[in-house]
Chains A and B, each alone.
Chain A
């Protein structure tokens, strides 16, 4: 009996230590083989969740790279920024700042099992100690599972010599080809009505990492622009007041490029918050012109954008008439 217990204990500890060593070795190799270089001509990045992911088609915008990813919170955007900026010659970063990103639900997007398991593996090898500690203190139960997924993915990448780290799996424009479903749309409006209390509560955790992004970019002389991608007029914005106040209170010195009301027909949307391919093409071409026309160097950007959007609206009306 004693032999059994002793041998079992020895094997258990040896295996545990060996697994730990392998985890470190795999993460070390990943860290030193990763390639975060984007196209040399890329001067601007857009980052955020699925809204910018579907709105900014970088095929139509010069010197621009979309690195947004569905369900990404500022915590993981911050990790991306730290990986991309030192390895590239980036002048500016556009960060999505929209209604659903300040909701308390976004906390789940940082340490909830689903999102942590999907995002953490891409960044685990490059995160600093504080951020790793932050995740496991928030969700100790699921953290080992995220470590295991990350080890598995990194090992597979090492074995298949797949070191490109900025491809579509990391982030990029997402093409949607569906059209907004109007009956679903009305149904969704009615169903979402229950959510209102949660909608206006603000996620301080997620915003903490937006501040970190801004600080990091400032230190590295990279200009930060907050943006809001086009949203359908029925998109729920219960916390609009909070979003505006927060902007004034915390990010007053940053430009906010608000394209929320960019005039688009219903058939240019895949759903309330996401443009389809046609919508993204129209918006991206216009956005490209906007940058070419000097948007980023103009003092009062909001007026400039509103004036340009007004012109489109008038043009649309003229066309309809």
Chain B
């Protein structure tokens, strides 16, 4: 079920009313309702893959229970590795099997040995990378004794399958989300209203920005050989806003929806395109994944405790693995490596934590220096997105070579009408203005207009709703569903 579909518009109020009016007396019943609603939400896409979620849930639940009673270190390790193997095994099979097979065949053919193996027609279960990481965080935290394993299978099932964030995150830590299922939730008016605001802004980012930028970006990327460099620049800029609108829009809807049910999810995007350097960008982009890798990969590898070489090695590992997490394609690995390269100078000069505050805090506009820093970081990010969006490495390379040719000075003529491009461009300006204004908040609409006259504020919300209405198009699946 897509957040931007009529199905979800009907599903959400029904679950909301059942949750607060029918099952509110009993915590177990309320959690059970969440499990049923989540399985319905997921099964709407393909019910067969529900068995994977259920299997992961049961395995990790019982491993968690065993870790509590098991004192033997090697047995505890065995339990942990069982969980890791099962979870990553599913992920590896569904997501990476064909990639590794193809690359083995290619590698052996280079060595002169022909291997006859055909790739399988595997459907990638939606959201598998997200819930796999979420359940893994539980087992690892229980193993590290940072978290008491749960006795409540229903609460644990609700934690694994919680529908607002099941298919595209934020990837929640068990330490943050699971305890929320143990306590009785109380309806809080202000929290629910703020949740609705966040949903509205998420829908704007998805329907108005992402889906419409996608029309232009898809056309340019799919016909990149026919366009001049200037048009390709335009295409990747539209993709830059598409991916941001798509993914952060999803996160906003997920967080907002959770708030309607009394849950607090962690912020996943903190206005990353206003970052002044790449380190800041990665502290603001897909925060739940970056911190997951930091806590469960970077730090166990030694983090930044060793010498310079250790820091560089670990940084490259974390960026490349993060790239590979996005998809079984060399383009994602290069995208990760490219970001590691961007990060390297900051790391070596020990400047990776220079910009930890919000840009232009307490001011309306950034200084010239800040603006320049934002522009440079933005350009570097845009360049890296070429690899993220391209079909394969050669497509990315030819795309980049056209950008860096004389045709970059040609008029950027593309298939989409001038009228449409202008309309989408105006919406991007609107997005930037609202996000700039709300950059110190958890989401762009959190504080904007709170001090205004009520009618002005309503007018702002109405304008956003009207823009959403005006830019309704064919519902596009969220990009991150495929990850």
A-to-B contact residues, CB < 8 Å:
1, 3-4, 8, 11, 15, 18-19, 22, 113, 117, 142, 144-145, 148-149, 151-153, 155-156, 169
Pairwise interchain contact A19-B196, C-beta atoms closer than 8 A:
no
Query: How far in angstroms is the closest Cβ of chain A from B268?
Result: 25
Q: Which residue of B lies closest to A20 (CB)?
A: B469
Contacts of A19 in B (CB 8 A): 465-466, 469
- Expressed in whole angstroms, the Cα–Cα distance for A209 and B465 within the complex equals 36
Beyond the given A1-B189, A19-B466, A156-B423, please list 16 additional residue pairs across the A-B interface where CB-CB is below 8 A. A1-B20, A1-B187, A4-B187, A4-B189, A4-B192, A4-B193, A22-B466, A113-B474, A117-B473, A142-B474, A145-B472, A148-B473, A151-B469, A152-B423, A152-B471, A169-B417
Pick the contact of B462: A3, A18, A142 (CB < 8 A).
Answer: A18
Query: How far in angstroms is the closest Cβ of chain B from A62?
Result: 31
Contacting A at CB under 8 A, from B450-477, are: 458, 461-462, 465-466, 469-474
Q: Is B117 an interface residue (CB 8 A)?
A: no
- Expressed in whole angstroms, the Cα–Cα distance for A15 and B196 within the complex equals 14
Pairwise interchain contact A3-B189, C-beta atoms closer than 8 A:
yes
Interface residue tally for chain B (C-beta within 8 Å): 21
Q: Is B111 an interface residue (CB 8 A)?
A: no
Contacts of A117 in B (CB 8 A): 473
Main secondary structure on chain B at its contact with chain A? Answer: helix
Contacts of A4 in B (CB 8 A): 187, 189, 192-193
Query: How far in angstroms is the closest Cβ of chain A from B185?
Result: 12
Q: Which residue of A lies closest to B24 (CB)?
A: A1
Q: Which residue of A lies closest to B462 (CB)?
A: A15
Using a Cβ cutoff of 8 Å, how many contacts connect chains A and B? 45
Chosen A-B contacts, 13 in total, with CB atoms closer than 8 Å, are: A1-B20, A1-B187, A4-B187, A11-B458, A18-B466, A19-B466, A145-B472, A148-B469, A148-B472, A151-B470, A152-B423, A152-B471, A156-B422
Q: Is B123 an interface residue (CB 8 A)?
A: no
Contacting A at CB under 8 A, from B189-208, are: 189, 192-193, 196
Pairwise interchain contact B192-A144, C-beta atoms closer than 8 A:
no
Contacts of A151 in B (CB 8 A): 469-470
Q: Is B120 an interface residue (CB 8 A)?
A: no
Contacts of B422 in A (CB 8 A): 156
- Expressed in whole angstroms, the Cα–Cα distance for A41 and B13 within the complex equals 60
Query: How far in angstroms is the closest Cβ of chain A from B194?
Result: 11
Which of B417, B461, B469, B474 has the largest count of A CB atoms less than 10 A from its CB?
Answer: B469
Knowing A1-B187, A18-B462, A145-B474 touch, does A153 contact B419 (C-beta < 8 A)?
A: yes
Contacts of B193 in A (CB 8 A): 4
- Expressed in whole angstroms, the Cα–Cα distance for A15 and B92 within the complex equals 47
Q: Which residue of A lies closest to B260 (CB)?
A: A4
- Expressed in whole angstroms, the Cα–Cα distance for A217 and B203 within the complex equals 46
- Expressed in whole angstroms, the Cα–Cα distance for A144 and B473 within the complex equals 9
Query: How far in angstroms is the closest Cβ of chain B from A41?
Result: 29
Pairwise interchain contact B196-A8, C-beta atoms closer than 8 A:
yes
Contacts of A145 in B (CB 8 A): 472-474
Contacts of B196 in A (CB 8 A): 8
Q: Mark B170-194, 1 if CB is under 8 A from A, else 0.
A: 0000000000000000010100110
- Expressed in whole angstroms, the Cα–Cα distance for A155 and B465 within the complex equals 16
Contacts of B187 in A (CB 8 A): 1, 4
- Expressed in whole angstroms, the Cα–Cα distance for A11 and B460 within the complex equals 13
Which of B417, B423, B458, B472 has the largest count of A CB atoms less than 10 A from its CB?
Answer: B472
- Expressed in whole angstroms, the Cα–Cα distance for A19 and B458 within the complex equals 14
Q: Which residue of B lies closest to A118 (CB)?
A: B417
Contacting A at CB under 8 A, from B5-43, are: 20
- Expressed in whole angstroms, the Cα–Cα distance for A152 and B207 within the complex equals 14
Knowing A3-B189, A4-B193 touch, does A144 contact B462 (C-beta < 8 A)?
A: no
Knowing A8-B196, A11-B458, A156-B423 touch, does A144 contact B472 (C-beta < 8 A)?
A: yes
